[in-house]
Amino acid sequence: MSAHGKLVYLIGAGPGDPGLITLKGTECLKKADVVVYDYLSNPRLLSHCRPDAEKIYVGKKGSQHTLEQEEINQLLVEKASAGKVVARLKGGDSFVFGRGGEEALALAEAGIPFEVVPGITAAVAAPAYAGIPVTHRDLTSTFALVTGHEDPTKEESAIDWAKIATGIGTIAFYMGVKNLPRIVERLIKHGRSPDTPAAVIRWGTMPRQQTVVGTLADIVKKVKQAGLTAPAITIVGEVVKLREQLNWFEARPLFGRKIVVTRSRAQASEFVEQLEALGAEAVEMPTIRIADPEDFGPLDKAIDNIESFHWIVFTSVNAVGRFVEQLLQRGRDIRDLKGIKICAIGAATADEVREYHLRVDLVPPKYVAESVVEALQQAGEIKGSRFLLPRADIARSLLPDEIHRLGGKAVEVDVYRTVLEEEADADVIQRLLEGDLDLVTFTSSSTVRNFAHMLGKERLAQIQSKTGFASIGPVTTQTAKELGIPIHIEASKHDIPGLVEAIKRFFSETSLSHG
């Protein structure tokens, strides 16, 4: 239970892009004991929650309700009455066709304190991401938000169609795909020109955003041809014409590409962010999990005798963090590394070393063990030197073998294990089998082996004609080939930015598409 006492935050999650939630919204999520969230609130926002927070899904998709609204109201009251801090996370803005007003009234009647945290509503954000400003001084000075799905228990419509049709420059209709023919018919009937531009935007602000543009005369036909379904927002008005010049989001180089990220969940964020910045839909399917070594003994022994080493060779970002963490656990700190040279494989690993205010003495030009050996040999640093290699439990033996062969001594210690993620994501596997995903990415040999294990031989064979595969470098590529997985893209620079650049270049030069 939180020290803050009973309280409910009614948080607008924004329209879909997880970066569009407000700072206050994320702070409230961090405080919450219970998070009650909707279908239209991006599940990635749950990463802001405390690990021990109770997460309750109450999504409504069309006519399918996990809980009825009255039950949701009661749930909020019950959880808060138990002394919990509750975050009610709703797509868009909870007070704009989000039924947040009903929830607030239920809380007020029950004497439960609450705060409203506004969110960016889809009527503004979705058209902005489609290159459509809802107002423009040369085109319109009026803007209306209208529900396209009124309360079905109402005997008469509360919408004054005559005023809406002719008195408002830009109209945004929420939840109106199903009723689009009726909306268009009423607008035209009450005086709006059939030539008025219109756009329907599905999954606005998300990498899977779809936009159909037409006029009131043909938008229903075009939406039907495109197969557009909810959730979508409809924009009617002259401002729609500006999309031709302002369509920034859908013009990005990887827009519409669906790319599977197989890294561990803890490491995936950088890769996901870079892919999404280029417009891709990054689909997380973690195949590995980073775990403690089975035995800290060898690592502890090496740390206790750290002065005996001339070099420490870090082969990954994980190795750096895990080593420093254990160094501190043993009552030591970075001052005890004075005089020891550090080699880092890869720019990201070197950056992680520098985060601890340590100097990197050597970064080999290529991010593989062979390049480490060559660089050390050229510097005359191997013969007679002692090397500490903090690494994963399944690391290649080439580096220590070559150091020994060339007259040095290498001490390998496990600082972490890469273990198979316990459960494969059934939804992602189904999308792979259906050919709905363009590319699967591998950032290490472990991700390849575990991906193959998760799918099994039969399903792995089935997807090979339906999707492409990308590798971070030659070692990972070789592992894939040994398992019968064809690699279509290999990064020339063997790190995440290098892999992203290779993917971007590949899709700019090819028409490969399976989605």
CATH number of the domain that 40 lies in? 3.40.1010.10
In this structure, the answer to whether residues 333 and 409 fall within a common structural domain is yes
Q: Same domain for 129 and 240?
A: yes
Q: Tell how strand 232-236 and strand 197-202 pair up.
A: antiparallel
Confidence of residue 350 (pLDDT cuts 50, 70, 90): very high
Q: What is the pLDDT of residue 515?
A: 43
**One domain, residues 215 and 167:** yes
Same domain, 115 and 136: no
| Residue 514 falls inside a structural domain | no
Please say if the pLDDT value at position 414 is more than 80: yes
CATH code of 219's domain: 3.30.950.10
Same domain for 451 and 386: no
Residue 227 included in any domain: yes
Q: Which of 270, 337, 267, 353 is nearest to 302 (CA)?
A: 337
**Both 412 and 315 in a single domain?**
yes
Q: Check whether residue 107 and residue 54 sit in a common domain.
A: yes
Distance CA 109, CA 21 (A): 28
515 is a domain residue: no
Based on the structure, what is the number of domains in the chain? 4
Query: Residues 302, 388: contact at Cβ < 8 Å?
Result: yes
Task: Extract the runs of DSSP E, i.e. beta strands, from 286-433.
Answer: 288-291, 311-314, 341-344, 386-392, 409-420
Task: Pick the last residue of a domain from 246, 267, 302.
Answer: 246
CATH number of the domain residue 373 falls in: 3.40.50.10090
156 and 216 housed in the same domain: yes
Mean local confidence (pLDDT), 365-394: 85
Predicted TM-score (pTM) of the model is 0.78
Co-location of 413 and 462 in the same domain? no
**Same domain for 204 and 302:** no
Is 147 within the bounds of a domain?
yes
Mean pLDDT over 186-191 rounds to: 96
Residue 267 resides in a domain = yes
- The rounded distance, in Å, linking the Cα atoms of 458 and 455 is 8
Phi, psi of 506 (to 5 degrees): -60, -50
With helix as H, strand as E and coil as C, how does 395-447 read? CCCHHHHHHHHCCCEEEEEEEEEEEECCCCCHHHHHHHHCCCCCEEEECCHHH
* Domain boundary, last residue among 119, 138, 172: 119
* Domain boundary pick from 119, 146, 176: 119
407 in the same domain as 337: yes
Of the candidates 6, 17, 33, 38, the residue annotated as catalytic is 38
Q: What is the pLDDT of residue 2?
A: 44
Q: Is residue 253 part of a domain?
A: no
Is residue 1 domain-resident? no
**CA separation, residue 196 to residues 189, 218, 239, 279, 280 (Å):** 13, 10, 10, 30, 32
Give the per-residue pLDDT at 514.
43
Asked whether residue 28 is assigned to any structural domain, the reply reads yes
* Catalytic residue flag (residue 175): yes
Q: What is the pLDDT of residues 245-281, one digit of tens each?
A: 999 999 999 999 999 999 887 778 889 999 999 999 9
Residue 38 a catalytic site member: yes
If asked whether residues 365 and 299 sit together in one domain, one would say yes
Give percent of the chain with pLDDT exceeding 70.
95
Name the pLDDT band for 392 (thresholds 50, 70, 90).
confident
Catalytic residue among 17, 175, 258, 341: 175
Which structural domain, as residue segments, surrounds residue 238?
124-246
